[in-house]
Structure 1
Amino acid sequence: MTKVQRILWDYGMMTVGTAITAIGINGFYVPAKISDGGISGVGIILLYLLHVPLWVSLTVLNVPLLWLSKKLWGNRVGTRTVYGTLMLSVMVGIIRIGAVTHNVLLATVYGGLLSGVGLGMVFRARGTTGGSDVIARLLTRFLPITMGQGMMVVDFFVIAAFGVVFNPTLAMYSLIALFISSRAIDVVQEGVSYARAFTIVSQKPDIIAAKVLEVMDRGVTRIGAYGEYTKEPREILYVVITRSEVSTLKELIYSVDPTAFVVVATVHEVVGEGFRKPPLEV
């Protein structure tokens, strides 16, 4: 994938992502009076209190945030933020669908999923939709907190406002929507946990490595280490496999060395030989 193709792919992904998010907002969040926080949540409150169209609120409230984004993070990030923010406003304005369901719980679940998937696509394309994303970045600039913590602070205050304006029950549903949306964002950005990473400490690394290569046709990385307790040099084996191969690798390891020390970790995304092919340019 060339640089131009990658740019077109990213902007296309942001366009589709904002459309999916708009469906989640208009089809589920707005009719149920819930939100997963952010500027869209403020816009829903203004829609019911002052009858301001949601797309207007999204545009007007984001103007100073867009200016800050451009000022603080430069043209590349700023341009993608401007595009993502304006596209979300446009999609919310043109995708006018009524309530898909009148069940608040279903609206919470499906609204959270659609919003999370859509925003995850935007984030994966290295863009944002303005709003709480920009505010969270500002908070991380001036306070010792992470991006995720910053977004939680912003979303908490917006959802608390739902409890005051509407009722506490809708605020609690909004918290559920926030959780679902956050998990969906993580899955889209990081991938489903389809792989496992094995860290193997054994007295017989040569035999285990040979069997992994021969029997499982998987690569093995050797890492030099030092055992503090034994005061002896060791070799650690690092192997990444699919989830379905976990039992096979465990059986292989312990058939060679029953005393092997093994750590299994969840891997969300693997790029390289035997897994997903990397893009030529990023």
Structure 2
Amino acid sequence: MKKKIQELALVTLGALISAIGFNTMFIENNIASGGVGGLAISLNSLFGWDPASFVLIANIPLMVLCFFLLGKSIFLKTVYGAWIYPLFINLTAPLPNLTHNPLLAAIFGGIILGFGLGLVFLGNSSTGGTGILVQILNKYTPIPLGILMALIDGFVVGIGVLAFDFDTVMYSIIALICITYVINLMMAGSDSSRNLMIISQEHQAIKEYITKVADRGVTELPILGGYTGIEKRMLMTTVSRPEYTLIETEILKIDETAFMVVMPASQVKGRGFSLNKHHQFEDDILIPM
């Protein structure tokens, strides 16, 4: 229940931030940065259609695909995102345009929308629209989320040629690049972990702490000092980013002279990360985390 509330909060906050960026940066500057929202800006210029209403209506057939291809759970969360996003667009419509410089609007609007959509994706949902197509393709293909979004939204940006001049379309491409970059950065950061290599005379005590207190797996490697020629032991463990600070602090409490090398691990698969911990499987080829 706590996780569901957190995801719902992420979707709500992300949709609000995205709507603010949409209204204060994109609409008056004609930045059609992709997605149903970008298409709505193009159609608003061509036919005067209300962007919020178009986003809401266009989501209906896409929600049908979501139900059958992504499952009931994602569908229910996406229904909320697909409803709350156009609602926030309506509510934030009175906000003033923050800049009349299209380059600034493309860059900073892209950052704001990218951050908002990143929060929505972290909530395991979307604001509907092409985000649904992105999630479907991400589920059934190995292509990264950000690249899929760039491909689909790039097509929508191309449609902007019918409504705007080429300069405006190129600003839209800049905005799309910014959105994609920020989303990729957020999605990679959410899964990132830290790989620690530790050399210490107190390796036994550190190993006890990692396995019994931090509840993480550890690999013990024999090493040979290049300068001294003395045999030593090196510990290697992988921890999530939130765990790293506490583990580092506790290791230094055990041995303030401990030598540690910390490397980012953008993706970690296996027990304790992508798989549940099963300490009872002592003969498992995957060391229980």
Distance 2:110 2:139 in 1: 28
**Across the two proteins, how many residue pairs are aligned to each other?**
244
Distance 1:210 1:158 in 2: 58
Q: What is the CA-CA distance between 1:190 and the residue it aligns to? A: 4.9
Matches within 5 A, 1:220-231: 222-223=218-219
Counterpart in 2 of 1:82? Answer: 79
Counterpart in 2 of 1:253? Answer: 259
SS in 2 for 1:184: helix
SS in 2 for 1:56: helix
Counterpart in 2 of 1:45? Answer: 42
Residues 128-181 of structure 1, C-alpha deviation per residue, up to 9 Å, x if partnerless? Answer: 111112112344566664443322220111122224431222222222222222
Counterpart in 1 of 2:20? Answer: 23
Q: What is the CA-CA distance between 1:47 and the residue it aligns to? A: 0.6
Q: What is the CA-CA distance between 1:46 and the residue it aligns to? A: 0.5
Is the CA contact (8 Å cut-off) linking 1:41 and 1:158 kept in structure 2?
yes
Matches within 5 A, 1:52-71: 52-71=49-68
Counterpart in 2 of 1:265? Answer: 264
Distance 2:191 2:133 in 1: 30
Give ranges in structure 1 of 5+ residues lacking alignment.
228-233, 255-261, 270-282
Counterpart in 2 of 1:124? Answer: 122
Is the CA contact (8 Å cut-off) linking 1:194 and 1:267 kept in structure 2?
yes
Q: What is the CA-CA distance between 1:16 and the residue it aligns to? A: 2.2
Is the CA contact (8 Å cut-off) linking 1:199 and 1:237 kept in structure 2?
yes
Matches within 5 A, 1:108-119: 108-119=106-117
Is the CA contact (8 Å cut-off) linking 1:211 and 1:252 kept in structure 2?
no
Is the CA contact (8 Å cut-off) linking 2:203 and 2:234 kept in structure 1?
no
CA-based RMSD? 3.9
Is the CA contact (8 Å cut-off) linking 1:208 and 1:253 kept in structure 2?
no
Distance 1:208 1:29 in 2: 58
Counterpart in 1 of 2:11? Answer: 14
Q: Which moved more, 1:183-192 or 1:154-163?
A: 183-192
Q: What is the CA-CA distance between 1:207 and the residue it aligns to? A: 2.6
Distance 1:89 1:182 in 2: 21
Residues 6-53 of structure 1, C-alpha deviation per residue, up to 9 Å, x if partnerless? Answer: 433332332222111111001101111113311111111001001000
Paired-residue identity, %: 28
Is the CA contact (8 Å cut-off) linking 2:220 and 2:236 kept in structure 1?
no
Matches within 5 A, 1:140-159: 140=138, 145-159=143-157
TM-score (norm. length: structure 2): 0.69
SS in 1 for 2:96: coil
Distance 2:76 2:70 in 1: 10
SS in 2 for 1:149: helix
- The amino acid across from 1:222 in the alignment is V
Counterpart in 1 of 2:181? Answer: 183
Counterpart in 2 of 1:237? Answer: 236
Distance 1:182 1:52 in 2: 27
Counterpart in 1 of 2:201? Answer: 207
Residues 98-141 of structure 1, C-alpha deviation per residue, up to 9 Å, x if partnerless? Answer: 31111112211221122112112212222111111211234456
Q: Which moved more, 1:65-74 or 1:168-177?
A: 168-177
Residues 245-274 of structure 1, C-alpha deviation per residue, up to 9 Å, x if partnerless? Answer: 8xx99x9539xxxxxxx67336699xxxxx
Is the CA contact (8 Å cut-off) linking 1:191 and 1:268 kept in structure 2?
no
TM-score (norm. length: structure 1): 0.70
Counterpart in 2 of 1:257? Answer: none
Counterpart in 1 of 2:227? Answer: none
Distance 1:64 1:109 in 2: 31
SS in 1 for 2:173: helix
Is the CA contact (8 Å cut-off) linking 1:18 and 1:91 kept in structure 2?
yes
Distance 1:187 1:206 in 2: 34
Is the CA contact (8 Å cut-off) linking 1:19 and 1:118 kept in structure 2?
yes
Give ranges in structure 2 of 5+ residues lacking alignment.
208-212, 224-232, 269-289
